[in-house]
Structure 1
């Protein structure tokens, strides 16, 4: 696990610029550093040593130094690929997965990513062809940012390294801001920094003669087997999860496991037989999962390390969180991840985590919605539209049944944009000071819905989450919070072999007996206690709503909402009104408040204080 950065072309001070770019991401790889600099390219690398500790340094070259690579991630099938490439005549000088990519590019060229099983973001410079070629893994586990600045391609594992490139001028992307208000994360290809882009998962990038070419090399789909036998399916799931976990355990250093009270992390921790597990909770009974994790750890014979997060600690690290996230993210559980990763990093270099199980196996509670709405949606669409509009106009916000009538009036393509939906188009226009060309959210999701229009509504929702929520929120915070503490986080559910099986599961085996991801739960019950396997999905519960009603935090957020930065982007009276409604208990506006507050926190770090650094 590492950090990569670099640029094509030559600057008068290429070495100094590259060093600054590398220094901004030193947390991703504090063990060592490497550079490759010519008149045509400057590649930089920060290393966190995990595999082939003695010989895995980068940049890495082929035999004649005509191909050079910097690579962030792990290739779990690298030993298989290594033998295949050796049989084709390639000669290896070390045992790292990085060298497999070098020779893989020699053999397969731009088809290389299709051969890889793992999490990865890499950039290759081909000196003979004078081109740069890179790729991001299938599901977007590892980040990859890029921009074309003064005719040169500039790239990095994190945006902050690109900010060190001298030709880049920082400017807020207000269209990204407007979409963020709805999604709670950065959803557009162009980031919050104008001119800097995210390479999408399962895409490659080629830069030659000043031109960028982006191509998709793989696309998730569904091949549902309605005739599948449940018991046989559960056997296959359990076998595949165990195989994936073992593949993700490959390491020359100790591997631990994150552990909450839920099925996903419990399943992974038990199957992995990790010696150490790590858990956090808050000093509120309903927001504390530590006792659950400790009980399971005792049952499976592993040592549990836990951290109770105080509210003072939580609020104090918010600026640091937004710095390491690069872009605003309003997921309150980021802080929980920050502290559990910090705790883990005190003991191990690698942890396993349960991300992806909900999207692959149908785990979110919202996936029940099509079932809940089924009776209501038998009514004529016109009648439902009328009832929904009437409920919106007549029933007070927050009144029981209002959301059901409004959401049921809409088709899934209109109502579901992913696991989070904060401000409506009308609401975000009301609080923003200046208009932007931002599209309605459903226009962003429509191309994805079009690809799965033949499937049932629950599977459609999974597909949307896989292409939006999972990438923009879940995996991103998992990477950024772990790497902030120089910790490698591996996600065995997020594996192409696991997905090959998950995509065949019919909805009747995802939603059954009043629960979600039913088939996965049955597989997990073979290893973990029944109560844990059947426990309702919680996520990382955080008491934000309670805190925002306390005078101390109310005043803190209010000051931010009335600040010069807030006045630049928002109608601040509307922000304070929203905050006051929550403080008085009239409405639970906590999630909306948090979206705005986290943007303002991020803006202060990157545009007001500017050169702030927490390294």
Structure 2
């Protein structure tokens, strides 16, 4: 796990400022790789690398280049199937000088170029260049676990693992992307390649970009999920295949030359990863869970403890405080580069910081909700579909996936989501699938009363539904559950993985996500929807194969939490309330013009504002202060 950066242009455009900038860019990402650094220089090419040593600690240094220095590579991540790839390359006559996955990737790229992407199982972002021809290739992994940002400036292609590193280059300025503000207020993440910074893009998951010293081509996709259903598969065979893939993915991701552990929330996904991992280790695995005990409904550590006892793990509890929130908040926003997702990033950061004191690699359960259908809003969507089908006798998916009779036993999951149901059913009932799911993901209505007239005009000018619709209806499927999960895989998941990457790398901890194995995703995409979302039961398929791997009370949970934070309660009184008041009462915040003056004046008395909305406001304001004002 590392930080990579680079500057590429025709030789006459590379000057002394670029040589100085590459060092500053690396220093800005020191946290990503404190174990070593390196720079590669060639005509028109500057590559930088900060290393977190995990595999072949002694010899895996980067930038790595071929013996004749023709080919050079900077790489961030892990190739989990590197031993299998190495064996195949050795059989073809290639001789290796290290035992690192970096050298395997280098040799595979030399041999096969962009076609090597189809053989990789891992999390990765890399830049590979042929110094003789000046041709280069950059790519990002299938789900976007590892980041890759870039800017085209004055004939230079400049890239880095984090935006803060790009901003160290004197020719890149921190300017606000107004359309990005509109997207953030709508979804609390950005669609496509946009960032909140004007003229700075992100390479999307499962995409590559090629170029020469004179410039870059348009990014292209190298992998996508195929939702063609395998109607012939039996449930027994499917369960056997999925069990085998889950076990193999965890086993591959346990490859490490340094101590490792797991995140363990007590939810199904992290419990599954911890339990499977524990079965492959001789000593009890170290696991880490966060909790808040001040208020009811913010502590699921009893489930984490049950899992730990069940599989013999050593579970450690971390309880972040209001003081921690105030101490950490600015650092979290700085590390994120741009705000995304919800307040769960705060306890994630705290848990990662504690875990980093004992392990260098950590496995988590990220991705399970998106692949297996775990969000409550999927059930909300199907509850409406079942009502629509019963009333109008419609069959939008070819046949009824979920009937009213079958969905009833699973509806208690929605008990804590009654406010969302009230909002969801206010208007547009029984509209098309895309319009209804847009309403389930659109956060703008929850915050509109807090926005200034200028910001409301911006939202009117920006029409997010058209871009939403193209993604939602882009998959080769008529299935509602497949459309919903595919949208989340392409949009929400990369945002959550941005959080996963930043909070772990901020403390020099490598985070791995075994459920995000492309083989698992491909198998589940081919499963008949009725089997995957049987009776509207979230994660029906995953729960079936985990019956003998995790405690029964974890399988039967109906109180999905998702690392909740008592931010709404903290905001009413006490040190966090005072901190929030200070942020929004500042002259900069009042002159910003994003939120209405009445909202800023009454921020401590906005009882109707939930933690998610308050977090979105707070993050956006502090992001401006850290990155734009300064």
Q: Contact 1:21/1:165 (CA < 8 Å) preserved in 2?
A: yes
The residue number in structure 2 matching 1:25 is: 29
> Aligned match of 1:276 in 273, 286, 290?
286
**Is residue 359 of structure 2 the alignment partner of residue 362 of structure 1?**
no
Q: Contact 2:226/2:522 (CA < 8 Å) preserved in 1?
A: no
Aligned ranges for residues 369-408 of structure 1 at < 5 Å?
Answer: 369-378=380-389, 401-406=422-427, 408=429
Q: How many residues align?
A: 590
**Is residue 246 of structure 2 the alignment partner of residue 236 of structure 1?**
no
Aligned ranges for residues 80-229 of structure 1 at < 5 Å?
Answer: 80-213=84-217, 214-229=219-234
Q: Judge which range, 545-554 or 127-136, deviates more.
A: 545-554
> Aligned match of 2:344 in 326, 333, 342?
333
The residue number in structure 1 matching 2:504 is: 482
CA distance in 1, matches of 2:349, 2:62: 28
Q: Secondary structure at the match of 1:475?
A: helix
Q: Judge which range, 460-469 or 166-175, deviates more.
A: 166-175
Aligned ranges for residues 341-490 of structure 1 at < 5 Å?
Answer: 341-378=352-389, 401-406=422-427, 408-417=429-438, 420-424=441-445, 427=448, 431=452, 433=454, 435-436=457-458, 439-452=462-475, 454-472=477-495, 474-490=496-512
Q: 1:87, CA displacement in angstroms?
A: 2.6
Q: Contact 1:178/1:428 (CA < 8 Å) preserved in 2?
A: no
CA distance in 2, matches of 1:405, 1:466: 27
CA distance in 2, matches of 1:140, 1:400: 31
Q: Judge which range, 33-42 or 558-567, deviates more.
A: 558-567
* CA gap 1:439/1:165 in 2 versus in 1, 3 angstroms: same
TM-score normalised by L of structure 2 = 0.88
Q: Judge which range, 599-608 or 423-432, deviates more.
A: 423-432
CA distance in 1, matches of 2:420, 2:190: 30
TM-score normalised by L of structure 1 = 0.90
The residue number in structure 2 matching 1:503 is: 525
The residue number in structure 2 matching 1:302 is: 313
Q: Contact 1:376/1:408 (CA < 8 Å) preserved in 2?
A: no
* CA gap 1:568/1:82 in 2 versus in 1, 3 angstroms: same
> Aligned match of 1:493 in 493, 510, 515?
515
* CA gap 1:432/1:146 in 2 versus in 1, 3 angstroms: farther
CA distance in 1, matches of 2:26, 2:619: 26
**Is residue 55 of structure 2 the alignment partner of residue 51 of structure 1?**
yes
> Aligned match of 1:573 in 572, 597, 600?
597
Q: 1:211, CA displacement in angstroms?
A: 2.5
Q: Contact 1:258/1:265 (CA < 8 Å) preserved in 2?
A: yes
The residue number in structure 2 matching 1:388 is: none
Q: 1:561, CA displacement in angstroms?
A: 3.3
Q: Judge which range, 73-82 or 558-567, deviates more.
A: 558-567
CA distance in 2, matches of 1:158, 1:424: 31
Could you report, residue by residue, the CA deviation over 1:560-600 in whole angstroms, capped at 9, with x for unpaired residues? Answer: 334343322324235338746633xxx34432222121100
Unaligned runs of 5+ residues in structure 2 are 394-417
Q: Calculate the aligned-residue CA RMSD, in Å.
A: 2.4
Could you report, residue by residue, the CA deviation over 1:270-310 in whole angstroms, capped at 9, with x for unpaired residues? Answer: 11016211111113342112232223212321212221111
Q: Contact 2:572/2:605 (CA < 8 Å) preserved in 1?
A: no
Q: 1:504, CA displacement in angstroms?
A: 1.9
The residue number in structure 2 matching 1:560 is: 583
